[in-house]
Structure 1
Amino acid sequence: MHPSLAQVHDRIELQKSALPQMYGDVDFTQTPERYTQDVAESSLPPSLHNMAPPPADMVARVKAYTMLGDVTADAYAALMGEYGFRRLVDMLTTACDEGLEAVPDAPPELVALITEMETRPDWLDMDMVRKGAALNRLPMAVTSPWMIRGAFLATFMNKYTALPMAITGTLGYSTSARRVNETATFFTVTTLPGALEPRGEGFKAAAMVRLMHSMVRFNILRKMKSWDVSVYGIPVPQVDQMPAGLIDVFLLAYQMLDEGRTEFTADERARV
């Protein structure tokens, strides 16, 4: 089962004690400006203002994810001062390609990250994942690259999601283009056969995405003057990564409702 809301809040608080150099000055009890429960104030189009409200637990979970980074990957990124950017990337790449045993004196933070990624939740049906990957393979190659590029325009124009890139110098023409390409590639390779297994290309791509996001958080939060948590919450929080990974699911849900259904088909469940 997914973690309870109480467990999510415990993980949020853990950030302060586990990584004081990043989260020590963050007040996790505040509600950042970027979050609202008032639909009229939200970015939803007026046509959706009168839809049935989501369950209260789901609303509270989304609010909590506004203040949650990635404790495990953040701890690894925080080693940048000791190992340097290039060394952290190289060790992670080697661990993904050849296993932890191929990294001499692997730091415990790297071991924790790889171990966490290799631990399969009890509720996850990998046969269903493999079926969904096969169903998604052609759309990812043909149509999704264009959808991802369109979606990134919204990211670049949203002050809450664009500011981390602006602060870290990755919102320029060439760097933003590379970021779009890397993200489109990430989602595509996750659909390749065996990609999500350890040593798979999708596994490695996911590990690198986690490290890159954590490096952004590390570089921003250790210089708190340039980041207002009361306005923006945590840089690149989990709530920002949800829409990136769930756009196709969102569209599937719209299609389901348009067809008068309330449940996904077996193929749609596999894609989800």
Structure 2
Amino acid sequence: MVTEQLPTAVPTSLRRVDEAHRRFGAFTDTYLAAMWAGDPLADAFVADFPDVGHGRAMRMLRQACREGIDAVADAPASLRALFAALDDVPAWLDAERIYRDSQYTSRYSRASGIVLGAASLVSGYANSAASRPLELTGRYVENAGARTIEVGSWLLAVNQPGGLDRFSDGFELTLRVRVIHALVRADLARRPDWDGAAWGVPICQAYLAYTLVEFTLIPLRAMRRIGAPYLPHEEDAAYARWRYLGHLLGIDEALLPRDAAEQERLEEIYLLTRPVVDDYCRALVASINRDFLVPEIEGVLPRRLARRAPQVVHALERLFLGDEIADDLAIPHTRLTGVIARTGPLLSAVNHRRDLRATSLPGRTRRGKAYEVEQEQRLRRDWNVQHDLVDASPSGGRPHPARGD
């Protein structure tokens, strides 16, 4: 896999590669090699779809998740190989500690929902190569709300107590995300409009690994900036959780970050070498802002301030992303950025003192969990979304490789 090869070429869309070599040394070669690596186990399973049948193959995957691979009659060797790796649980996983140390994190569920959109998802749009699969499959600009709900539903499942367990909903959803990636990768690799010389392999290991930064380092940092900081042991549990989720998603061990320091290194080389932002990246941001984040902020603000929702969204994005990326993405400047930046540390101090009162945590967490359920139900109702992931979304409109259209 990544550790067994050195790059023979550098994707032409990357920038500042020489500087990356100076700053990161041998890790730069690992990162560049990952531009040409997919997911051998999941890709091999998807290669069997034409013989097995798309629908039957996905049913086999679900059955293996729910009952074990031995319950799947006539399972292809590729699926058996995938689950042999999955059922070999890494010695470093301590799921019980993760569950124990993150049992109260839902107390900040209102803030974390905003951070998911304005920090985690938007941060990925500053890379025109990494976001290209969304463009070519038409999955975001056409329906920002649906895809955001899909991501949120997956995150809700994997963050539940037991959400990492072998036969949990979180495990199954994660494996389906992995196979969806492989289906998209196979489809794009065959298309003449996929420029491999410029972008590398579709949904390559390098950009797949960066998704862990999007769902761990970036949101943890953003939560601190808006005054909803987690406790140190909760942050450690988040990194441990996403290390295992990265393993389930097929990220090579050479790139799989173990802790905050390794995620920070991955973020730095990703941002340094990222391709230039293009108009599609800006369209993605405009879409999620217009169709999802602004309406959500309008619902949080007092009615008399609802008209300021676009400025609040722009202020949060500039705070989370920094001015360089925000300028690239054409996110407008607003004086509210400074207001929120100054307010965040004060709120952090207040909330940290509250968090140190252990007796306050269970009640706040119960209210947060109730909000999570209500929020998902409301979003599904408002956006008329009943499915969990795109492979189960209704047919019609633009075809998608995950559905076998």
TM bin, normalised by shorter chain, reads 0.7 to 0.9
Partner of 1:94: 63
- Tell whether 2:15 aligns with 1:36: yes
C-alpha distance in 1, partners of 2:42/2:102?
25
- Tell whether 2:193 aligns with 1:226: yes
In the TM superposition, residue 172 of structure 1 has moved relative to its aligned partner by 4.5
Output the TM-score relative to the length of structure 2. 0.50
Partner of 1:271: 238
Which residue identity does 1:94 align to in structure 2?
A: Q
C-alpha distance in 2, partners of 1:166/1:227?
11
SS for the counterpart of 2:156 is helix
Residue 66 of structure 2 contacts residue 167 of structure 2 at CA under 8 Å; is this kept in 1? yes
C-alpha distance in 2, partners of 1:136/1:183?
18
Which residue identity does 1:145 align to in structure 2?
A: G
- Tell whether 2:106 aligns with 1:112: no
Which residue identity does 1:147 align to in structure 2?
A: V
Residue 162 of structure 1 contacts residue 171 of structure 1 at CA under 8 Å; is this kept in 2? no
Q: CA-atom RMSD, angstroms?
A: 3.0
In the TM superposition, residue 136 of structure 1 has moved relative to its aligned partner by 4.0
Correspondences of 1:66-85 after superposition (within 5 Å) = 66-85=35-54
The structure 2 residue matched to 1:203, chosen from 157, 167, 171, is 171
Which residue identity does 1:191 align to in structure 2?
A: N
The structure 1 residue matched to 2:113, chosen from 145, 152, 163, is 145
Q: CA separation of 1:145/1:85 partners in 2, compared to 1, >3 Å: closer, same or farther?
A: farther
Percent identical pairs in the alignment equals: 24
Residue 31 of structure 2 contacts residue 206 of structure 2 at CA under 8 Å; is this kept in 1? yes
Residue 95 of structure 2 contacts residue 164 of structure 2 at CA under 8 Å; is this kept in 1? no
Residue 68 of structure 1 contacts residue 237 of structure 1 at CA under 8 Å; is this kept in 2? yes
Residue 62 of structure 2 contacts residue 172 of structure 2 at CA under 8 Å; is this kept in 1? yes
Q: CA separation of 1:38/1:90 partners in 2, compared to 1, >3 Å: closer, same or farther?
A: same
Output the TM-score relative to the length of structure 1. 0.72
In the TM superposition, residue 269 of structure 1 has moved relative to its aligned partner by 1.9
Structure with the greater alpha carbon radius of gyration: 2
Q: CA separation of 1:232/1:136 partners in 2, compared to 1, >3 Å: closer, same or farther?
A: farther
Q: Which structure 2 residue ranges, 5 or more long, are not aligned?
A: 225-230, 240-405
Partner of 1:128: 97
Number of positions where the alignment pairs a residue of Structure 1 with one of Structure 2:
230
Which residue identity does 1:62 align to in structure 2?
A: Y
Q: Which structure 1 residue ranges, 5 or more long, are not aligned?
A: 1-6, 14-27, 43-52, 257-263
Correspondences of 1:38-53 after superposition (within 5 Å) = 38=17
C-alpha distance in 2, partners of 1:79/1:167?
23
C-alpha distance in 2, partners of 1:82/1:157?
38
